[in-house]
Amino acid sequence: MRIIPAIDIIEGKCVRLSKGDYSTQKIYNEHPLEVAKAFEAHGIEYLHLVDLDGAKSKHIVNHKVLEEIATKTRLKIDFGGGLKTDEDLRIAFESGAQQITGGSIAVKNPETFTGWIQQYGADKIILGADVKGEYIATDGWLETSDQSLFTFLAHYQNEGVRTTICTDISKDGMLEGPSFNLYAKIIAKTTLKLVASGGISNFDELPRLAEMGCDGTIIGKAIYENRISLKQLENFILNR
């Protein structure tokens, strides 16, 4: 299972939210590159970089942060937040993203998202499945759609998607543990590679997610609040 730390960006700074609520913003570092370099120094290969300004404004905003991390580390970066147009995608890839995650666009403009899969290939395009209950949420989690999670996943599996990042918004940033039951259902009902996201609170949850068959897990606040140390993650990666 891949360990994928998250850096969420508002105004160029590394922040975390609780349940996607922008009013709960907490700044952890003014310099995201420093955070990324610390991850890399502990053997981490992957990074989930989220442009929260982009998610709110509905177009890419913090591509300079992406470019700086991409040029000054060797991390494989999955970038998301506010990617709505072909131009947004071009900027993201030219700024150094190895993959992009599309969530809201896949709900609201499926033709565009499907076109991206066809143009760039399924290895480059990740399906973001952010859920409240079992319904898909969009626009930086500010809206909930009427699409059920499993209908959504089945549709895009048929369109060629191979990987999904599923975030249970009710768990995100709460340090109460991930949605094990939800992830077990996704693994049972689909053939998608599942990256679990939201709620990771301690190291012991990671082997459990790995045993379930998750392809990766995204860890955010648990790192920043020192619930999980980078040394623990380094050892997990070395011993997997």
d(CA 167, CA 12): 23
Other C-beta atoms lying within 10 Å of the C-beta of residue 7: 27
Which CATH code of 3.40.50.300, 3.40.640.10, 1.10.1200.10, 3.20.20.70 fits the domain covering 2-239? 3.20.20.70
What's the DSSP call for residue 85? S
Task: Map out the domains of the chain as residue ranges.
Answer: 2-239
E-strand ranges in the chain read 2-10, 13-18, 21-29, 46-51, 76-80, 99-102, 125-132, 135-138, 143-148, 163-168, 193-197, 216-219
Active site residues: 8, 130
**What pLDDT, in 10s, does the model give residues 185-237?**
999 999 999 999 999 999 999 999 999 999 999 999 999 999 999 999 999 99
| 78-82 mean pLDDT | 95
Angle between helices 86-94 and 63-72 (to 10 degrees): 30
**What pLDDT, in 10s, does the model give residues 129-154?**
999 888 998 765 667 778 899 999 99
Residue 14 has what pLDDT? Answer: 96
3 state SS of 67:
helix
- Helix (H) or strand (E) holding 72, with range, is helix 63-72
| 51-66 mean pLDDT | 95
